[in-house]
Structure 1
Amino acid sequence: MSEERNAIPLILTGVGSIIVTVGSLWYYGYLHFAKPEDALLLSDFTMLKTLPGEDYKVALSPAPQVAQCIDGVLVLFDTQQKGLSGVLVDRKKQAVRCMGQDTPRQEK
């Protein structure tokens, strides 16, 4: 009893399942396809050094990014583009740390 099965329906079902799964994850926001314009460069941010007795001016409208301290590292979230977040780093790609929380330590 050697029956040969047609593999084409099985292959089409598998490919269709993958497409529907990826589409559902993307639709509900669990999957984000990054584009080059989504990236925020460090050069887009400037630190204003505050000195005692000196005034500095900033815009009244807030930036579309919000920062949160997670595991001792400053993480930026973009409020305009859903799912876009990143770690604030310096020129040497070192993460900017937060005060008031324990910083992660490398175990030896």
Structure 2
Amino acid sequence: MSEERNAIPLILTGIGSIIGTIAVLWFYGYLHFAKPEDALLLADFTMLKTTPGEELKLSLEPAGQVAHCIDGVLVLFDTKQKGLTGILVDERKHAVRCAGQETPQEIK
């Protein structure tokens, strides 16, 4: 009366379903496998502390990046390599926020 079922086809079907789902999600762009090139360091930046009464000397030549405030985050665009953009972050990967611009709120 009790028949033993072969579990191997069920296991293979489950594994195949998972692999198929991952492949379809990746193909349609819903899944992205990050590569080390995706998070390359664009440039090193240093914050110069300004104190009242001290003179601050800067180079007249501008940097190779232009910053814009987008959705309350400082986004850098590289002027030397077209298409290269990045978000300015600190050493803990916290995004640098823009002062004076509010994050857009949902309009009802």
Which residue in 2 is equivalent to 1:40?
41
Matches within 5 A, 1:66-105: 66-103=66-103
Matches within 5 A, 1:52-71: 52-71=52-71
CA contact (8 A) 1:68 1:76 kept: yes
Q: Report the Cα offset of residue 102 of structure 1.
A: 1.1
Q: Report the Cα offset of residue 103 of structure 1.
A: 3.5
Which residue in 2 is equivalent to 1:28?
none
CA contact (8 A) 1:97 1:103 kept: no
What's the TM-score, normalizing by structure 1?
0.57
Give, as a single letter, the amino acid of the residue that structure 2 aligns with 1:55. E
CA distance in 2, matches of 1:87, 1:96: 8
Q: Tell me, which stretches of 5 or more residues in structure 2 are unaligned? A: 1-35
What's the TM-score, normalizing by structure 2?
0.57
| Identity, % of aligned positions | 68
